[in-house]
Amino acid sequence: MLGYVINMLTDDPFNDVPVLGALDVRSAASYLAQVGEGEIATQLEEAQAEQSRQSRQGSRSGIRWPFSNKPWQYTSHAFGYIRSGALDREAPIVSAGTISADDSLRNAAIDITLDRLRVADYPGGSTHHVLLDFYAQNRADDRSEHLHYNMFLRALEGQEAAVIGYPIFVRLNVGGSGVGLRCLTVNVKNESDEKFLSFLGSDVFRTGLHLATAVQPALVPFSEMVLALTKAIAQRNRNVPVQEFFLGLDFSEVPTRARLAEGSYVIVQVPDGLVRVWDWDEWIYDGRSGHIVSRQDSRDLIPFNYVVIGVSRARRPDE
pLDDT in tens, 133-169: 999 887 765 667 778 888 889 999 999 999 999 999 9
**Regarding predicted confidence, which is higher, 89 or 317?**
89
How far is residue 88 from each of residues 64, 85, 100, 280, 299, measured CA to CA in Å?
43, 9, 21, 17, 17
The more confidently predicted of residues 219 and 302 is 302
C-beta of residue 81 within 8 angstroms of C-beta of residue 263: yes
Name 204's Cβ contacts closer than 8 Å, sequence gap at least 6: none
Nearest to 181 by CA among 109, 246, 117: 246
Which of 30, 52, 53 lies closest to 41, judged by CA? 30
- Per-residue confidence (pLDDT) for residue 211, from 0 to 100: 62
Among residues 209, 9, 246, the alpha carbon closest in space to that of 110 is found at 209
Supply the DSSP symbol for 251: S
Query: Are 137 and 9 spatial neighbours (Cβ–Cβ below 8 Å)?
Result: yes
pLDDT value at residue 89: 78
Single-letter amino acid, residue 152: F
Query: Which range has the worst mean pLDDT, 57-61, 190-194, 220-224?
Result: 57-61
pLDDT tens digits, 10-31? 467 788 889 999 998 888 999 9
What's the pLDDT score for residue 199? 61
Position 108, amino acid: A
The percent of residues above 90 in pLDDT, for the chain, comes to 50
Percent of the chain with pLDDT over 70: 82
Do 209 and 147 meet the contact criterion of CB atoms below 8 Å apart?
A: yes
**Structural element, H or E, at residue 195:** helix 191-196
Do residues 293 and 283 lie in contact, with contact meaning Cβ atoms separated by under 8 Å?
A: yes
Indicate whether 206 pLDDT > 60.
no
The C-alpha atoms of residue 271 and residue 87 are separated, in whole angstroms, by 30
Instruction: Let me know: does 43 contact 51? Beta carbons within 8 Å.
Output: no
Upper half-sphere CA count for residue 220 (Cβ side, 13 Å)? 11
Distance of CA 191 to the CA centre of its chain: 23
Say which DSSP state 101 is in: P
Of residues 208 and 95, the one with the higher pLDDT is: 95
Query: Dihedral sign, CA of 110, 116, 117, 121?
Result: negative
pLDDT of residue 3: 27
Q: How far apart, in whole angstroms, are the C-alpha atoms of residue 110 and residue 112?
A: 7
Q: Is the pLDDT score of 283 beyond 90? A: yes
Residues 6+ apart with CB under 8 A from 125: 35, 36, 157, 189
List pLDDT tens digits, range 131-143. 999 998 877 656 6
Let me know: does 77 contact 21? Beta carbons within 8 Å.
no
